[in-house]
Chain A
Amino acid sequence: GQNIDQPTEMTATEGAIVQINCTYQTSGFNGLFWYQQHAGEAPTFLSYNVLDGLEEKGRFSSFLSRSKGYSYLLLKELQMKDSASYLCAVINGQNFVFGPGTRLSVLP
């Protein structure tokens, strides 16, 4: 089966660091994506991991452990505009399987 879990909601303070976790159990694995989606808008690409380890891109970093079926998205120096839903998606060789998304609220 295909199952991806993420926390439903998280809250953090402007300027802080937040880690959004994603665990997955899929029939195949060809990579993991993180997308950001603001309310009423289309998802936009943040990062892609296919090998174990950390990928850093500015204030955003994504980590993958294939043996544990685990990934996290790390957001540093949080800004108000980072308030959005964060979607974890796994490619299992046939299609994208999306997690339910984590709604992040950044407070002043």
Chain B
Amino acid sequence: KAGVTQTPRYLIKTRGQQVTLSCSPISGHRSVSWYQQTPGQGLQFLFEYFSETQRNKGNFPGRFSGRQFSNSRSEMNVSTLELGDSALYLCASSQQGQVANTEAFFGQGTRLTVV
């Protein structure tokens, strides 16, 4: 079956702009989690969506938001981009999500560069 698909793979934006990233989970998976990965901070949890509802949220400012659609596809939005937002953004899908301790499958990520 198809894996987790993230689009776009690469993105360059300027400070102050906003950006929307997309994640299509594995068919049948209802949970989508988003992570930011930087060389200095490692993988940091942004938020998790399950059945169109945000179930968990990490410690990121309100500029980072997301949503999930009825087909489980999820989008992440970052407004008023800052240079420090440059990172690899990964999404992970799983059947029941983190509360059920099930394995998460990661997408290839979107490499965002803010200039």
Separation in Å of the A80 CB from the closest CB of chain B?
A: 22
Total chain A interface residues with beta-carbon distance under 8 A: 23
Does A108 lie at the interface of the complex (its beta carbon under 8 Å from any beta carbon of B)?
Answer: no
Chain A residue nearest in CB terms to B102: A48
The stretch that binds A, out of B37-45, B68-76, B77-85, is B37-45
Q: Contact residues of B with A, CB < 8 Å?
A: 4, 33, 35, 41-45, 48, 56, 58, 90, 98-99, 101, 103-109
Top 6 closest pairs, chain A to chain B, by CB? A98-B43, A42-B106, A100-B42, A31-B101, A95-B56, A95-B45
Task: Apart from A43-B90, A98-B44, list 8 A-B contacts with CB within 8 A.
Answer: A35-B106, A43-B43, A91-B101, A95-B98, A97-B45, A98-B42, A98-B43, A99-B42
Q: Contact residues of A with B, CB < 8 Å?
A: 30-31, 33, 35, 41-45, 48, 50, 87, 89, 91, 93-101
